[in-house]
Amino acid sequence: MFYVSWEAFHRATKELAHQLLDKKYDAIVAVSRGGLVPAAILARELNIRVVDSICVASYEHDKQGSLSVLKDASLPDSTSLLIVDDLVDTGETAKALREHFPKACFVTVYAKPQGKPLVDHYVTDIEQDTWIQLPWDMELAYSAPLAEK
């Protein structure tokens, strides 16, 4: 397991924004749901006002399943797109998105070896067999002092 705090995720996403400063993008397409938070951060840091989403399902909690598009993004073909997801794992979602948006720049915060060749930019390498616990999937909870246990 690899646990990510809100602060660490925000810091890593801002690092991703630094990598993207050399090119202008007209719009961001967030891959829902994991790409929604980094897309919002990148939209702010890169001053991009047009943000849409493509809703793709490939996981059910901790099990990978078949890929299905639940909602497509609706942007003009001429738009310079930045496709944003939290993580590239096996690369199945990235392959489908590359086919769907062939001219777009595809970025993720985290990349595993199988999917890494499919992204244009990422921040952190993660081992293929490591499960990432992202902050929106966890809750803070009180922990009793050791003396009280």
pLDDT tens for the chain, residues 1 to 149: 999 999 999 999 999 999 999 999 999 999 999 999 999 999 999 999 999 999 988 766 555 667 778 888 888 666 799 999 999 999 999 999 999 899 999 999 999 999 999 999 999 999 999 999 999 998 888 888 888 87
pTM of the model: 0.86
Catalytic residue among 22, 26, 89, 129: 89
Contact 110, 124 (CB under 8 A): yes
Encoded tokens for 94: 């990235």
Encoded tokens for 140: 């803070």
Structural domain spans, the chain = 2-148
Active site residue 26: no
Catalytic residue among 22, 52, 85, 120: 85
Catalytic residue among 52, 62, 86, 120: 86
Contact 6, 137 (CB under 8 A): no
Helices marked H in the chain: 6-19, 36-45, 92-100
Active site residue 137: no
Tell me if the domain spanning 2-148 has CATH number 3.40.50.300.
no
Active site residue 85: yes
Q: How far apart are CA 122 and CA 25, in angstroms?
A: 17
